[in-house]
């Protein structure tokens, strides 16, 4: 029984490992096919979407960083304040806010010396 | 070497000696790993689509800036920016939020100049909008399903313009597997979008294409030299320029650089998982203690017992990780992220109308195996060590 059981366990483990590797390979291949179709879409709309939201109804930044530099519900530096946004509440893609260029590069800036 | 292989073989036997314990441990690990893997795969998929969005978009995005906030930019900026040395093309774009239908469905309306549209595209079932008497719209898959729209359907006016409201015609539907952000998208001509939002002469942003190497100088010239006056008091509207590199910097750097409640949940889950495996591994299993006691009484050393437990843990964690990867693949590829996509992607239905983007990459899969190994090892090794360091007679009692 032990020898048979060991053989079954070994083969089972082998098939599981091969299956997992195949799943990774198939996923990678289908991803490449999607990327080719996605390119056409992005060129059509001029580049749209950078976050996990599909509409502008909540946080514009969660939809596209080009439309909003940061999250309007960001309540930092309150601890955890950045997560009060309902779009970020379970966010799987945490994007840093866009950093505006330094004031020296802005026209008509005023510097106090 | 043969000696170690023989000891390792006993580790495989140990898996079969307590089949219920092995199955329960593996199931616990799968339950912990599966949502984590699915979330990581979704995150990677969305991130890759975001990178494509940035890569295949414009070199620079120019918008207005008032009080440090983004505001629309006047269309007169188009010709002024076109004259800058290094600029190849400037395209105005409107992106805004609209509400449609009885259920007040939120949609993103994008207006682009029709001259920019190619004659035919593969990502649209139907055709692209043209200028005409009616508003022509291309609608995203999720929105079309919610509003029960098909190609050729007519929409009553969903906006108000003092100059008159027009009927809209759906001339195309985006394919569901094209992109995440087509889900609630309405694509139309720039003039139609301006009429819908009643914002003549304005664009939300300008898409600027530059010659190679001129990006920085064009950015500097726009920010220093382009500004507008608006309103009776001639309030200044400055320009804000966002480059492709700045957008890429907003995305997470790698799989370990992900924040949010997602990571916090799984740190807690893994922390709870260790005591769970501890209990199933032997803290409450007197047979395992007697088994270790018998091995010690027959001459096994503590390190040999620990090696046996390590191999046992390796086999269990490898099996659990592989099962979790396979289940994650089935859940995302064949079930299209049923329910879990709506949890992580705001605005997506329980049964998504779009093809949920995901990428089960080797690095997260390896990470899940390592995590499951640590989980099982921590639970198994401690109980084995405790049993191995007492006198055999005590362990066998």
The overall average pLDDT reported for chain A is: 74
User: Are the beta carbons of B175 and A26 separated by less than 8 Å?
Assistant: no
Which residues 269-288 of B are in CB contact (within 8 Å) with A?
A: none
Residue A111 has pLDDT above 50, yes or no: no
Q: How far apart are CA B97 and CA B197, in angstroms?
A: 9
Residue B178 confidence (pLDDT): 87
ipTM of this predicted structure: 0.82
Tell which of B97, B181, B256 to mutate to test the A interface (max A CBs under 10 Å): B181
Structure-token pair, residue B42: 């979704």
Closest chain A residue by Cα to residue B254: A93
Rounded to 5°, the CA angle B318-B321-B326 comes to: 125
Residue A77 has pLDDT above 80, yes or no: no
Tell which of B6, B18, B19, B57 to mutate to test the A interface (max A CBs under 10 Å): B57
CA distance B325 to chain A (A): 6
pLDDT tens by residue, chain B, 397 residues: 788 788 878 888 888 887 888 888 888 888 888 988 888 888 888 888 999 999 999 999 999 888 878 889 999 999 999 999 999 999 999 999 999 888 888 999 999 999 999 888 888 999 999 987 789 999 999 999 999 999 999 998 888 888 878 889 999 999 988 899 999 999 999 999 999 999 989 999 999 999 999 999 999 999 888 887 766 667 778 889 999 988 888 876 554 445 555 666 677 777 777 776 666 655 556 777 777 778 878 888 888 888 888 888 899 899 999 999 999 999 999 999 998 888 888 778 888 888 889 988 888 888 888 888 888 887 777 777 777 777 777 766 6
Closest chain B residue by Cα to residue A31: B359
Residue B281 confidence (pLDDT): 59
User: Are the beta carbons of A93 and B43 separated by less than 8 Å?
Assistant: yes
Closest chain B residue by Cα to residue A87: B346
Cβ neighbours, 10 Å, residue B73: 25
Asked if B168 contacts B153 with a C-beta cutoff of 8 angstroms, the reply is no
Residue at token pair 């907003």: B250
Which residue in the set A54, A83, A98 is minimally distant from B345, CB to CB? A54
Cβ neighbours, 10 Å, residue B390: 15
User: Are the beta carbons of B181 and A37 separated by less than 8 Å?
Assistant: no
Residue A86 has pLDDT above 70, yes or no: no
User: Are the beta carbons of B250 and A98 separated by less than 8 Å?
Assistant: yes
Tell which of A13, A50, A79 to mutate to test the B interface (max B CBs under 10 Å): A50
Q: How far apart are CA B144 and CA B138, in angstroms?
A: 10
User: Are the beta carbons of B326 and A31 separated by less than 8 Å?
Assistant: no
Per-residue H/E/C for chain B: CHHHHHHHHHHHHHHHHCHHHHHHHHHHHHHHHHHHHHHHHHHHHHHHHHHHHHHCCCCEEEEEEECCEEECEECHHHHHHHCCCCEEEEEEEEEEEEEECCCCEEEEEEEECHHHCCCCCCCEEECCCCCCCCEEEEECHHHHHHHCCCCCCEECCCCCCCCCCCCEEEEEEECCCCCHHHCCEEEEEHHHHHHHHCCCCEECEEEEEECCCCHHHHHHHHHHHCCEEECCCCEEEEEEEEEHHHHHHHCCCCCCCCCCHHHHHHHHHHHHHHHHHHHHHHHCCHHHHHHHHHHHHCCCCHHHHHHHHHHHHHHHHHHHHHHHHHHHHHHHHHCCCCCHHHHHCCCCCCCCCCCCCCCCCHHHHHHHHHHHHHHHHHHHHHHHHHHHCCCHHHHHC
Q: How far apart are CA B282 and CA B299, in angstroms?
A: 21
b (16+ CB within 10 A) / e for B7-44: bbebbbbbbbebeebbebbbebbbebbbbbbbbbbbbb
Residues 6+ positions from B48 with CB-CB distance below 8 Å: A31, A35, B357, B359
CA distance B394 to chain A (A): 28
Which residue in the set A46, A50, A98 is minimally distant from B50, CB to CB? A50
Sign for the pseudo-dihedral over CA of B259, B261, B267, B269: negative
Residue at token pair 């190994």: B373
Cβ neighbours, 10 Å, residue A100: 15
| Residue whose C-alpha is closest to residue B134's, from B153, B117, B115 | B153
B333 touches chain A (CB under 8 A): yes
Asked if B34 contacts B327 with a C-beta cutoff of 8 angstroms, the reply is yes
């Amino acid at each position: 029984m032990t020898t048979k059981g060991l053989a079954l366990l070994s083969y089972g483990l082998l098939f599981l490992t091969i299956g997992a590797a195949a799943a990774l390979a198939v996923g990678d291949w289908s991803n490449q096919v999607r990327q080719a179709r996605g390119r056409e879409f992005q060129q059509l709309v001029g580049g749209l979407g950078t976050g996990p939201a599909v509409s502008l109804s909540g946080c514009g930044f969660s939809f596209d960083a080009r439309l909003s530099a940061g999250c309007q519900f960001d309540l930092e530096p309150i601890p955890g304040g950045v997560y009060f946004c309902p779009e970020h509440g379970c966010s799987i893609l945490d994007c840093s806010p866009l950093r505006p260029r330094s004031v020296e590069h802005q026209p008509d800036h005023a510097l106090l010396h | 070497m043969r000696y170690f292989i023989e000891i390792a073989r006993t580790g495989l036997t140990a898996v079969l000696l307590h089949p219920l314990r092995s199955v329960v441990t593996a199931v616990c690990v799968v339950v912990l790993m599966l949502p984590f893997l699915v979330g990581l795969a979704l995150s990677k998929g969305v991130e890759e689509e975001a990178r494509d969005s940035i890569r295949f978009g414009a070199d620079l995005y120019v918008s207005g800036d008032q009080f440090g906030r983004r505001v629309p930019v006047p269309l007169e900026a188009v010709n002024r920016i076109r004259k800058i040395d290094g600029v190849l093309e400037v395209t105005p774009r409107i992106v805004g939020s609209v509400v449609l239908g009885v259920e007040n469905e939120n949609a993103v309306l994008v207006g682009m100049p029709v001259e920019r549209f190619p004659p035919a595209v593969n990502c649209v079932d139907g055709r692209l909008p043209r200028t005409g008497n009616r508003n022509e719209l291309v609608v995203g898959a999720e929105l079309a399903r919610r509003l029960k729209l098909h190609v050729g359907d007519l929409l009553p006016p969903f906006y108000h313009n003092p100059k008159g409201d027009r009927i809209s015609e759906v001339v195309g539907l985006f394919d569901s597997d094209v992109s995440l952000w087509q889900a609630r998208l309405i694509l139309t001509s720039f003039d139609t979008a301006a009429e819908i939002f009643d914002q003549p002469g304005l664009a939300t942003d300008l898409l600027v294409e530059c010659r190679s190497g001129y990006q920085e100088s064009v950015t500097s010239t726009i920010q220093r030299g382009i500004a507008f006056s608006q309103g009776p008091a001639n309030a200044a509207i400055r320009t804000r320029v966002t480059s492709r590199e700045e957008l890429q910097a907003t995305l997470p750097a790698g799989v370990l650089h992900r924040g949010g409640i997602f990571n916090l949940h799984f740190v807690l889950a893994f922390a709870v998982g260790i005591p769970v495996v501890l209990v199933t591994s032997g803290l409450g299993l007197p047979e395992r203690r007697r088994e270790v006691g018998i091995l010690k009484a027959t001459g096994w050393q503590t390190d040999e017992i620990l090696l046996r437990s390590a191999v046992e843990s390796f086999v269990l964690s490898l099996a659990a990780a592989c099962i979790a990867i396979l289940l994650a693949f089935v859940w995302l590829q064949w079930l299209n992220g049923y329910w879990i996509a709506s949890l992580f992607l705001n605005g997506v239905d329980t049964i998504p109308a779009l093809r949920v983007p995901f990428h089960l990459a080797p690095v997260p899969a390896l990470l899940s195996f390592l995590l499951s190994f640590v989980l099982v090892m921590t639970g198994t090794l401690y109980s084995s060590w405790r049993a191995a360091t007492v006198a055999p007679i005590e362990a066998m009692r």
